[in-house]
Amino acid sequence: MKFNKSIGLYVHIPFCFSKCPYCDFFSIVTDNKQLKKNYLSALRQEMEIYSQKNKDIEIISIYLGGGTPTTLEGIHLREILDSCYSNFHIKKGMEITVEGNPGTIYDEKIKMLLQAGVNRISLGAQSFNNRILKKIGRIHTKKDIIISYKLAREAGYKNINLDIMFGLPGQSKAEFEQTLDEVVLLKPEHISLYALSVEPGTPLEYLVKKGKMKLPSDDFSNELFLRAIDILGGYGYEHYEISNFALSEKKCFHNQIYWKNQSYLGIGAGASSYIDNKRYQNYRDLNEYVFLLEHGILPIEFQEVLSWKERMVETIILGLRMMEGLSKSDFLIKFNVPVEKIFFKPLQILIKQGLLEENETSYFLTTKGISLANNVFMEFID
């Protein structure tokens, strides 16, 4: 069968055992089994509606994120994946990722996911230092990370990601380097490295504003980041995106769909979609989400059609996140105009500042540009 469109599929599971003070993703803490049952039913209904509306699409990756998907029982996660298979045309052998937190994964669950087709696990480790984990509100320990990782390995997973954070309160350079040493000893195929950021409306913002929690300076955090690039590179991890490192052939396929500004469908409360230059955002309110789908209505809170210029800017910003940079030929093919014709001035300013370089095929961030990426991106936004 010939498909007119290939897209990634994201499924949002908003449930957590506890809410981290720095998190601004849509998630809730609840023991309400009926609410979870209703939510899973609504997920299936949303998939059914989209499958009827889009019969010519092929799903080329699946990503279950959250929240913490592994707060659900293995049988429920398998049911979600079964719904994906029964409603959409799924590309054979594609990447299927499930996010999980250490301590929420056990032997039976991890094996059930593998049997359901999951071939990539992403563990939210964040740190291997118990004092720091407690300080940032994580409910797991270093021991939990190692146990969950080994369970996944022993079950047969050959593609595991570990999320690590830096710039954490009270974190020294030595402690961060110790975490990196312990990460590489486990030999995960992929490592995601994120700076702790203070997001509006989070408990962390309140704590910082009230002086109850002090974060490291930006300069110190940047020092940690540059040190991580050196350490991970020395162990054979390719720095392929600002926050992501991978061993050979293990780059995250699903996330590259986002960075290459390609189409994706988001299922679940608060999920976003980007198809045919339109962006959709689902309701975050779980009751509203469930109610609408019970009545056969897609739970879209708002949608927008991106202008030609907006699409260009997004393509540039997302492309520059990749270390391979923004492809000049891809931009020309996509928009039928050279990138220099529209963005000559910001490109030249950034090159002059030493934040951007170019070769025959691409524009890409320098080491200095990686550290100041947000400043680079702002140059393209009117």
Q: What percent of the chain has pLDDT over 70?
A: 99
**For 73, which DSSP code?**
-
Q: In this structure, what CATH number is given to the domain that contains residue 183?
A: 3.20.20.70
Strands 326-327 and 362-365, sheet pairing: antiparallel
Residue 198's pLDDT is what? 83
User: For residue 268, is it within any domain?
Assistant: no
- What's this model's pTM, rounded to 2 decimal places? 0.95
Residue 92's pLDDT is what? 93
User: For residue 167, is it within any domain?
Assistant: yes
User: For residue 285, is it within any domain?
Assistant: no
Residue 1's pLDDT is what? 43
User: For residue 292, is it within any domain?
Assistant: no
One domain, residues 87 and 211? yes
Mean per-residue pLDDT, 46-63 = 93
Q: What's the structural domain count of the chain?
A: 2
Contact 121, 83 (CB under 8 A): no
- Per the structure, the complete domain to which residue 320 belongs is given by 308-378
One domain, residues 235 and 120? yes
Tokens representing 92? 């054979």
Look at residue 3 and tell me whether its pLDDT is greater than 60.
no
User: For residue 15, is it within any domain?
Assistant: yes
pLDDT tens figures, 122-157: 999 999 999 999 999 999 999 999 999 999 999 999
pLDDT tens figures, 75-92: 999 999 999 999 999 999
Length of the chain: 382
User: For residue 270, is it within any domain?
Assistant: no
One domain, residues 136 and 9? yes
**What are the two backbone dihedrals, phi and then psi, of residue 195, each rounded to the nearest 5 degrees?**
-80, 140
Please report the sign of the dihedral spanned by the C-alpha atoms of residue 64, residue 70, residue 76, residue 79: positive
Contact 66, 73 (CB under 8 A): no
Q: Report the chain's mean pLDDT, rounded to a whole number.
A: 94
